[in-house]
Structure formats: structure tokens, C-alpha cells
Amino acid sequence: MVRSDDEWRRELTPEEYRVLRQAGTERPYTGEYWDTHTAGVYQCRACGTELFTSNEKFDSHCGWPSFWAPLAEGTVRYIHDRTLGMDRVEVRCTNCDSHLGHLFEGEGYRTPTDQRYCINSVSLRLVTAENADSTAATES
């Protein structure tokens, strides 16, 4: 998915643009989904690609939504990130190359992968069975 910078600025709010297109980070404990326990699929807010599900979401108490695995292989890509004096792995949407957050490993969480995908809420949109049904009814 290729869009110009101007197109992204028109389609996204200033905060969405800052995080998704400029690799920003929202403040901890302020995002819409950091403590959400609703069942559903988390899509990329920029392009709608399905990235994570509530089945892999867990409470890491870090202030951002945390997942132990993406929905499917190939939905996210990884970039070695050495900004801010840290050595970490950036997670991006494979479809539109939007910044989602970072991947951390070996932190001792009792999850099947011992990985924490620390994802900005503003990078995601939660689609539940309820809001998927209402969207389908509206489009009919």
C-alpha cells in the first residue's frame, strides 16, 4: 500500500500520523486498548489489516496493549531499532509500513512465546463481533 505523505496526513488524525507514520509512542496508560479485555480482532488503524487477536492479548501492566504473538505469520515485519539509545525491535504493519510498537523477548511473562508485542493503542482498531455486525448491516 503506497500513499503519499499528504494522503496519510489527510486520512489520519495528528496523533495517529505521529505514531503510525513517524514512529512515535503514545503515553503509557492513556491509550484506548491498554486494559481492554473485549474479544475481537485488532486491525491496523491505517490500512485495516488484521494484526492481532484478543486470544493473544495479555496483561503485562506496562501501559500499552500487549500480545504474545501476531495473528498470522507475515502480517507484521521487524526492524532493528537503535533510537533513543536503546537496542530493540520495531514492529510495523507489513501491508502499509505503519509503526505499531516494539517486540520484547525474554522478560519472563508466562506466555507461550515469552514475547511481548508492546503496541500503541492508536495504531490499532478493535473489531468485535458486535461492531462487525453493525458495520455489515450499515453497508447492506
CATH number for 60: 2.170.150.20
53-89 pLDDT tens trace: 999 999 999 999 999 999 999 999 999 988 777 788 9
Contact 63, 35 (CB under 8 A): no
Query: What's the pLDDT score for residue 134?
Result: 55
DSSP H stretches of helix in the chain:
5-11, 14-20, 129-139
Q: Which residues in the chain come in under a pLDDT of 50?
A: 140
- Give the residue numbers spanning the domain of 39: 5-139
CA distances from 81 to 1, 18, 86, 88, 136 (A): 23, 17, 8, 5, 39
Global confidence as pTM? 0.88
Q: How many structural domains are present in the chain?
A: 1
Note the pLDDT of residue 85. Answer: 78
Catalytic (active-site) positions: 118
Query: What is the predicted pLDDT for the residue at 87?
Result: 84
Q: How many whole angstroms separate alpha carbon 97 and alpha carbon 91?
A: 9
Q: What is the pLDDT of residue 129?
A: 80
Contact in structure between 66 and 60 (CB atoms under 8 Å): yes
